[in-house]
Amino acid sequence: MSTVYEAATLLPDPAELRTLLRALAVLEAAIGDDPRYCAYTFHADWGPDQEAALMGNGSGDDFSVHFTPAGVLIRGFDHESAMSPYGTDDEEVWPGVIDEVPAAPRPLLDDPACRDEGIDAPRVTVCLWRETGDTAWHTGSAIDFPAGNGDPDGSGFLLHLLTDRSPETVQAHFADYYERPVPLDAVRHVLAGHPVTPAIAAALRPSVERHPRGR
């Protein structure tokens, strides 16, 4: 079973995570034909002293990663998960998922990126946090995951590019999402933090206009 507990052991430190998320946003902007279809975006001016990386696959699944001076909060939502607030009778967050979020990052769960109108609960099935000075990622310590699903909270597919950061994995993801070949050398170039040159841009975005599909 893949859960947030496994993800917590595989995520990089906050500085590396921020670099990766910026690179994924740059890479997809270079691959995509239309920014409206980009799943990965990075916002350096999300709020006062706050940056945010967002992912939305167009099929109702998303995550947000908030970077603040106090630390980092990761919130993900799998719309098919039995742990969704929409799937419970009381429309409450699944027990244990956010109960232990510390006071400093907890207000981030009220960010518009984490909320839907008409429901008095964050849109969340998976949550991790790491306060400034921490040496590890934290999660709820006693989550009773529903049985019968190999990825009950959605962390496995939502965070897969954050936990398996190889260029080959990133290439395969975008090739599947955009349903066209994506050159591995160009992916390596962007993930290494190099600028998108005209040659790299031409390699990543062929002239044929196509649109991505969701999950």
Three-class SS of 32-86? CCCHHHCCEEEEEEEECCEEEEEEECCCCCEEEEEEECCEEEEEEECCCCCCCHH
- For residue 188, give both structure tokens: 């390596």
CA dist., res. 3 & res. 141, Å (int): 12
Q: Where are the domains of the chain?
A: 4-202
Q: What is the pLDDT of residue 37?
A: 85
Contact assessment for residue 98 and residue 124, using Cβ atoms and an 8 Å cutoff:
yes
- For residue 4, give both structure tokens: 């947030």
- For residue 80, give both structure tokens: 């098919």
pLDDT band at 118 (very low <50, low <70, confident <90, very high): confident
pLDDT band at 209 (very low <50, low <70, confident <90, very high): very low
pLDDT band at 35 (very low <50, low <70, confident <90, very high): confident
Tell me which of 209 and 147 has the higher pLDDT: 147
pLDDT of 213 strictly over 90? no
> In Å, what is the CA distance from 21 to each residue of 44, 156, 191, 208, 213?
11, 17, 9, 27, 21
Tell me, what DSSP letter sits at residue 133? Answer: T
Q: What is the pLDDT of residue 215?
A: 45
Contact assessment for residue 75 and residue 127, using Cβ atoms and an 8 Å cutoff:
yes
**Main-chain phi, psi angles of 56, to 5 degrees:** -140, 125
Q: What is the pTM of this model?
A: 0.93
pLDDT of 111 strictly over 80? yes
72 residue type, one letter: V
Q: What is the pLDDT of residue 72?
A: 98
The rounded mean pLDDT for the chain is: 93
pLDDT band at 11 (very low <50, low <70, confident <90, very high): very high
Nearest Cα neighbor of 37 from 22, 23, 16, 58 is: 58
